[in-house]
Amino acid sequence: MPPVPAAPSLDRPQRILITGASSGIGAALASAYAASGVSLVLGGRDRGRLASIEAACRAAGAEVETAAVDVVDAVAVRRWIETADDRAPLDLVVANAGISAGTGTAGESEAQARAIFATNVDGVANTVWPALQRMERRARGQIALMSSLAAFRGFPGAPAYCASKAAVRVWGEGLRGECRAKGVAVTVICPGYVESPMTAVNDFPMPFLMSAERAARIVKRGLARNRARIAFPLPMYFAAWLLGVLSPGLTDPLLMRLPKKK
C-alpha cells in the first residue's frame, strides 16, 4: 500500500483559493504564491484582469483555475469552492474580496451601506463557510480573512466600510480559537493603505502607502507563521489601535476634520 503523502505545512500550501484575485492584494498574493507545484484557484469579477493574473501565474510555473464569481452570490460561491475542493483539497483559502466607498460630501446612502455589507461581510462569510466545513472534516487547512486597520475605529468618512471590516476582524479572531482544536488555522489580515484600484480613487494623502507586492510579502510571511493577526504598517497599526482605545468624545473632533473618501 503506497504511503499517504504528508499534509502541506502552513509555510508551503500547495492548493490555494483567493477571492478578489483580479487586483490589489489578491492579485499580488496570487503572484507571490505562484510557483511550480502550486495550484491556484482564483476568483474575481473582472475577467480581463483575472486572465492577465492567470497568465502571469502560469508563467511562474503554477497550475491555475479561474472563475468570474461575485462573492455576494452565496450559492455560486459555495458551488465554486466545493467543486475546487473536490478536485483537490484546499490548503489555504483567502477571503479577500471587498469593496470600499465613503461619504463624500453628501453622506452615505442606505443602498451604498448595504452594498458594502453584502460584499465585505456576507461575501466573506459566503467564502469561509464552505471552505471551513471541508477543512474541519479533514482536520487541516488554513483560512485568512481580509479585514483592515479601519476595523479598529469607525471613521466618519467611511462608516459602513469601517463597520464591515470590524465585523470581519472580530469574527475571524473568534473563529481562530474555535477552530484551533479542529485542526484549522485562522488568521485575520489588517492592512493599511495599499496601492490598488480601491485606493487609486482617493484624492487625499495616504500615510505609509505601500505597493500591493510588498503587502503580499508581509501577508504570506505572516500566514506561514500562523499569526493570529497580520496588521501593517506598524505606525498605522499603532495609530488605529490607539484611536480604538481612546474615548470617542476625545477623538471625534479630530476625525470629523479628516478628508472624506469619495
Please give the grid coordinates belonging to residue 133: 466545513
Hey, CA dihedral for 75, 121, 171, 23, is it positive or negative?
positive
Spot the catalytic one: 33, 161, 193, 237. 161
161 among known catalytic residues: yes
Q: What is d(CA 127, CA 79) in angstroms, rounded to the nearest whole number?
A: 10
Q: Which residues are catalytic?
A: 161
